[in-house]
């Protein structure tokens, strides 16, 4: 008799949990679909991968217990909707056909202005040896530590601030870089635009750190920055690299529109959902796993992506992102043409 009661209680609890998950999956999917209409829906839309995982579990449970066919169909529709939205940032469409490429290693790290693991960060940077090093949340304390630890790097631009919007670009192998400091939208947060020659080609690099949208007035600033950034990028007529902590996922409408308007590709496509934030215990001291890809590298059609990976935890709330880009070597192509003549 006791076993029967326990079994009945277990079934009751299972049914309640399942019902709550179904309701959550449907409501969250509908909210995410309204991201252009309400800033809170925009926040929900960041979590489409997690919503899809909930839907996937529910689809499996529907197969195990197929009595509620209509519910199963509804959950499957939610699953497909969410996957459709984030799949372009995960799956690789098309093939890179560049020949005679040279590679460029780009490492970006959000240092976190409260992170004092200077040695761990500097050791990782020196071991990685990127051609371009892009750092956000650079404080005066971080600036001093980087000056001491990065002896093999040259400063391109460093704007150290006491808040979370300090920013810096360093290089190991690129000469004659011209730099402009930009301010997109009305936030007053600096971005760095650098122009240089690489493999015989002029290249523009834009490195930015956008306002986080987790409060309504912050979202207004965030939603000003990205269209302004998009407008400026659309005028660039050379191979373009756009990097930065953009505080939003690539499938949400603001970044999707930017990619379409500027004809940029997400470097993570083909490398899976490379989640970079948050790191363990970094978000309000809550144990968590990385949930969102918000540290980005977008590229124009002239580039291919040879490799892309997430780095180790170096004390920040963000994981480093290392991208190895390939670009056709114009110098070799010119020499071949000259030889053919």
pTM score > 0.85 for this model? Answer: yes
Nearest to 280 by CA among 322, 321, 317: 317
CATH 3.60.10.10 domain position(s) in the chain? 101-332
CATH number of the structural domain 101-332: 3.60.10.10
- Rounded to whole angstroms, the Cα distance separating 46 from 38 reads 13
**H/E stretch holding 182:** strand 178-183
**Are 130 and 172 in contact, with CB atoms under 8 Å apart?**
yes
The pLDDT profile of the chain, 341 residues, written as one tens digit per residue, is: 445 555 777 776 777 788 888 999 999 999 999 999 999 999 999 999 999 999 999 988 776 666 667 788 899 999 999 999 998 877 775 546 555 689 999 999 999 999 999 999 999 999 999 999 999 999 999 999 999 999 999 999 999 999 999 999 999 999 899 999 999 999 999 999 999 999 889 999 999 999 999 999 999 999 999 999 999 999 999 999 999 999 999 999 999 999 999 999 999 998 988 999 999 877 777 778 899 999 999 999 999 999 999 999 999 999 999 999 999 886 655 443 343 34
Beta-sheet strands, E only, within 63-177: 101-110, 132-136, 154-159, 167-171
Cis (ω within 30 of 0) for the bond into 245?
no
């Amino acid at each position: 008799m006791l076993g029967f009661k326990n079994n009945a209680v277990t079934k009751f609890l299972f049914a309640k949990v399942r019902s709550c998950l179904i309701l959550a999956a449907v409501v969250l999917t509908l909210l995410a679909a309204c991201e252009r209409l309400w800033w809170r829906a925009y926040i929900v839309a960041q979590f489409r991968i997690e919503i899809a995982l909930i839907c996937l579990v529910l689809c499996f449970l529907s197969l195990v217990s197929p009595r509620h066919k209509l519910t199963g169909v509804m959950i499957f529709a939610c699953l497909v909707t969410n996957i459709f939205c984030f799949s372009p940032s995960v799956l690789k469409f098309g093939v890179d056909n560049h020949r005679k490429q040279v590679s460029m290693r780009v490492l970006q790290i959000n240092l976190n202005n409260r992170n004092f693991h200077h040695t761990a960060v500097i050791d990782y940077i020196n071991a990685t040896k990127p051609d371009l090093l892009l750092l956000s949340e650079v404080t005066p304390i971080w600036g001093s530590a980087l000056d001491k630890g990065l002896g093999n790097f040259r400063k391109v631009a460093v704007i150290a601030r006491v808040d979370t919007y300090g920013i810096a670009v360093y290089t190991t192998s690129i000469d004659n870089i011209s730099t402009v400091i930009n301010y997109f939208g009305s936030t007053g947060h600096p971005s760095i635009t650098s122009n240089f020659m690489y493999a015989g080609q002029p290249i523009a690099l834009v490195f930015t750190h956008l306002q986080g949208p987790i409060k309504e007035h912050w979202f207004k600033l965030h939603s000003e920055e990205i269209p302004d950034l998009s407008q400026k990028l659309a005028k660039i007529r050379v191979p373009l690299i756009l990097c930065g902590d953009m505080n939003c996922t690539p499938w949400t409408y603001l970044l999707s529109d930017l990619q379409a308007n500027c004809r940029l590709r997400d470097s993570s496509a083909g490398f899976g959902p490379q989640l970079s934030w948050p790191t363990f215990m970094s978000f309000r001291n809550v144990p968590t796993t990385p949930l969102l890809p918000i540290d980005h590298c977008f590229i124009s059609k002239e580039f291919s992506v040879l490799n892309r990976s997430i780095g180790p935890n170096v004390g920040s709330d963000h994981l480093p992102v290392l991208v190895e880009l390939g670009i056709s070597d114009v110098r070799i192509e010119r020499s071949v043409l000259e030889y053919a003549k």
